[in-house]
Amino acid sequence: MKEFLCIIIYFFSNVCYSQLIEAKPENIGMSSERLERITELSKEYINDFNIPGIVTIVSRKGKIVYYNAFGKREVQGEAELLKDDLFRIYSMTKPVTAVAIMQLYEQGKFNLNDPVSKFLPELEDLKVLNENGDLESISTTMRMHHLLTHTAGFTYGFSDDQVDIQYSNADLFLSENLEDFVNRVAKLPLKFQPGTRYHYSIAVDLTGLIIERLSGQSLDKYFNENIFKPLGMNDTFFQVPNDKRDRFLTRYRYDVKNKYPVEYPSNPRQAMSDFINVSMFSGGGGLVSSAMDYMIFAESLRNGGVYNGQRILSSKTIKFMTKNHLESVIKPFQGGDMDFLKKHNSDGLGWGIGFGLVTDTTKKQIVGSDGEYYWQGPSSIFWVDPVEEIVVVSMIQIMSAPFDRRSDIKIATYQAIDETYEN
């Protein structure tokens, strides 16, 4: 029946893509010709930086106006990259986890001012390692709002200060499961007093454990039953099924010196590596997905929590999540050890629950709309523009590519607008 409906839709000048319809850009205020600049940009990345391939989707008003895959599946291979190939989406897992925890918020399972220790008693006696190298007690209660806005005091372990070295040595992502994970975290100090700074961190992985405890389900089962199945996301999972592993792409890192991708070594014991026999469900970075699957997820957010007749969140909750939750004295993205955060221009940005926000495009100095929300991983990006009703998802398989893909694709997308919806 689904295939029959797609055929019918096709003959009415639209193409059916996994329940999302492709429409002529000119019918939705965009230019087909100018959208081809995304094609030109994609081919430049492949030719100039030797990346294997790239998939990009652009939608407006819930209809696909651009959907293309370019390049190869392997750096040295001949097989062409396919639109439905599977990518590690890393930190683009975080918005999914945010939706999941806020579903439980809507059910009255917790309040944002609840102490984190109410749900994770293992963390009740955490200490802060101060600038003098001394451990001190927490002076203010760590609350759920702190955890959900990266202001709780946790880190990732990517720098060389005393706290991050301890995080690195703890091998958190070699944990057997989230219970093991939180027990390892409980032995580590905080980087700062809760609520005093923003610092990108493992907080979302801890949120995943809270989801497990509040729901009584493992994180993978919760996601599947409450987000993926309702939305029809059939290609998103923590563990790649055997019958889909032929679509699962090789992971590369970029060798800047030689300007060439190098296959990234895997560790079967480490989360976010092989995606086989997974027991450590990382809510901060553990999902595999396709570009179209993630587009469906993002479209559900743009559409007020509804997709294909299935509601996953209230529109009011989404509006709440995509407001700036950080006080003016706490600047997002200035506390982070990852390369993309270090070079991030934080002017005109804010942080919601699960999303980065563009609060002022003139301060950010990039075309777009005030009120955009977005996130990214080392190899994938997305954003939702509620003003122009645009969603963009773009995926590659290169860790930390040497170009600013978000800015490049934003410019290429917005220059194709013929009719703006901005007042």
Q: What is the pLDDT of residues 85-98, one digit of tens each?
A: 999 999 999 999 99
Note the pLDDT of residue 139: 93
Note the pLDDT of residue 214: 98
Kindly report the average pLDDT of the chain as a whole number: 91
* Residues contacting 253, CB < 8 A, separation 6+: 261, 262, 264, 398, 399, 400
Note the pLDDT of residue 263: 87
For residues 168 and 372, the answer to whether their CB atoms sit within 8 Å is: no
Region 173-177: mean pLDDT is 95
Region 45-55: mean pLDDT is 94
Note the pLDDT of residue 4: 46
Region 382-390: mean pLDDT is 98
Q: What is the pTM of this model?
A: 0.93
Region 394-405: mean pLDDT is 89
Region 4-14: mean pLDDT is 41
Question: Tokens for 26?
Answer: 């000119």
Residue 351's φ and ψ, nearest 5 degrees, are -135, 130
Note the pLDDT of residue 296: 98
Note the pLDDT of residue 268: 67
State the Cα–Cα distance between residues 136 and 122, nearest whole angstrom. 18
150: left (phi over 0), alpha (psi -120 to 50) or beta: left
For residues 341 and 199, the answer to whether their CB atoms sit within 8 Å is: no
Residue 2 has pLDDT above 80, yes or no: no
Q: Please, which pLDDT band fits residue 358 given cuts at 50, 70 and 90?
A: very high
Note the pLDDT of residue 6: 46
What DSSP designation does 90 have? G
Q: Please, which pLDDT band fits residue 269 given cuts at 50, 70 and 90?
A: low
Q: Please, which pLDDT band fits residue 270 given cuts at 50, 70 and 90?
A: confident
Note the pLDDT of residue 274: 80
Walk me through the domains of the chain, giving residue ranges and CATH numbers: 85-403 (3.40.710.10)
Neighbours of 312 (CB within 10 A): 22
Of 7-11, 72-76, 139-143, 369-373, the range with the lowest mean pLDDT is 7-11
Range among 47-56, 214-223, 340-349 rated most confident:
214-223
* Chain centroid, CA 283 distance in Å: 10
State the Cα–Cα distance between residues 65 and 211, nearest whole angstrom. 36
Residue 180 has pLDDT above 80, yes or no: yes
Note the pLDDT of residue 400: 80
Note the pLDDT of residue 259: 83
Of 134-138, 272-276, 294-298, 410-414, the range with the lowest mean pLDDT is 272-276
Note the pLDDT of residue 334: 56
Note the pLDDT of residue 256: 84
Report the share of the chain in percent with pLDDT over 70: 91
Note the pLDDT of residue 12: 37
Note the pLDDT of residue 399: 85
Q: Please, which pLDDT band fits residue 9 given cuts at 50, 70 and 90?
A: very low
Q: Outline where DSSP puts E strands in 51-123.
A: 53-60, 63-71, 87-88
Note the pLDDT of residue 173: 94
Note the pLDDT of residue 257: 84
Note the pLDDT of residue 29: 98
Note the pLDDT of residue 165: 96
Note the pLDDT of residue 329: 61
Amino acid letter for position 25: P
Note the pLDDT of residue 332: 74
Report the share of the chain in percent with pLDDT over 90: 78
pLDDT in tens, 211-232: 999 999 999 999 999 999 999 9
Residue 395 has pLDDT above 80, yes or no: yes
Note the pLDDT of residue 344: 58
